[in-house]
Amino acid sequence: MRNGVYQMSQDYLALIQDLQSQIEILQIAIVSQKEPAPEIAKDWLRSQGEIQTFFQSTLINSNLEITPQNLSLQVEIDKQLKMLGVDLTMLQTSRSLATWQKRHQQACDRFNLLGRYFQMH
């Protein structure tokens, strides 16, 4: 493998690991919150937006060489991050405990799916 390609691969993996760490921190905060908390959900939504921005600016819009498989994973991660934003918006505006629990579970499921995507990298 050419040294330049190897370096780009290492840079890409470092960015993926950074993204994964950011998502895991948010996941821990959300999974551990068992009661409705609209103010906290607002913070989660802000954090999700920051993660989405990081993903867009450092991975999607990077000059790194990306394999077709990693490109496919990027598309799926992008989609799931956007859907997580929708989940968190709905979670923030939930009025009943049942609705909040349903939205909370959807967000938790989305984190599990994202975790599986990271394992494929």
pTM score, whole prediction: 0.87
Give the separation between CA 49 and CA 87, rounded to whole angstroms. Answer: 12
Distance of CA 62 to the CA centre of its chain: 18
List the chain domain ranges.
3-120
Give the separation between CA 36 and CA 96, rounded to whole angstroms. Answer: 9
Give the separation between CA 38 and CA 8, rounded to whole angstroms. Answer: 41
CATH of domain 3-120: 1.20.120
Give the separation between CA 73 and CA 59, rounded to whole angstroms. Answer: 11
Q: Which two tokens stand for residue 90?
A: 């709905």
65 pLDDT exceeds 90?
A: no
Instruction: Kindly report which listed range (5-9, 30-34, 91-95, 110-114) carries the lowest average pLDDT score.
Output: 5-9
Q: pLDDT of 7-53, one tens digit each?
A: 557 788 899 999 999 999 999 999 999 889 888 999 999 999 999 99
